[in-house]
Amino acid sequence: MTYPASGSILNSKISSGLSTQITIKVGRVTVGAIQQLVVNQNRDMNCWEEIGTDGVVEMHPKGAARIELQVTRIVFDDLRLPEAFARGFINLQAQRIPFDIQLIDRSSSSVSSNAIVHIFNNCWISTYSPTFRADNFLISENATILSEYITSNRDAESAVYGGIRGIPYERDSIERSTDVNGQRGRLEPTGLGSAIGGNLRD
């Protein structure tokens, strides 16, 4: 049965995403005691307007997408936040090597092999704020983590597939390839990068 206004499927199966079905890992290490992880993706846009008519002539990105993670974790298992992310340091100034974070989302399927795996590649901790409060015995720590790019996979396919409703979407091979493989720069997926590189080498 479907809901007539939206077409959503109504049955006894729960199809809502639950945060308890999400695992956060760095390499093979599962990061525990995380209270919150917020993923912010933003990209600045250029908006070209026509003077006098208040009309937007064209809008397009003017820079690369920025990926930022806001993490809150309590001190647990005798691990500070960087250590919980499998880093061999405690203070921010010590980081010299980026790391990858895996977010394994099983909330959309009861089949574990059908989980969506988001990988935040080449992460750097940009802010780290341990908080000590007299009115709370628990020590919580906050960090802002910047990632160079994201890849999202579901059984080696793009995570976007239309949901259980099978909603059709506009197919674009470059968009899907970027989602899965994480190309950084548009010359690479179009093949222009190889052509230009070849000309330079010749």
**Annotated domain spans of the chain:** 19-169
Task: Answer positive or negative: Cα dihedral of 107, 113, 114, 115.
Answer: positive
- Please state, in angstroms and rounded to a whole number, the distance separating the CA atoms of residues 116 and 31: 18
- pLDDT, tens digit (0-9, with 9 covering 90-100), for 9-59: 666 555 566 666 789 999 988 998 899 999 999 999 999 998 888 889 999
Instruction: Please provide the size of the chain in residues.
Output: 202
Q: Which of 73, 141, 154 is nearest to 112 (CA)?
A: 154
- pLDDT, tens digit (0-9, with 9 covering 90-100), for 84-138: 999 989 999 999 999 999 998 887 654 545 688 899 999 999 999 988 888 878 8
Q: Which fold has domain 19-169?
A: Elongation Factor Tu (Ef-tu); domain 3 (2.40.30)
pLDDT for 190 equals 55
- Please state, in angstroms and rounded to a whole number, the distance separating the CA atoms of residues 91 and 83: 10
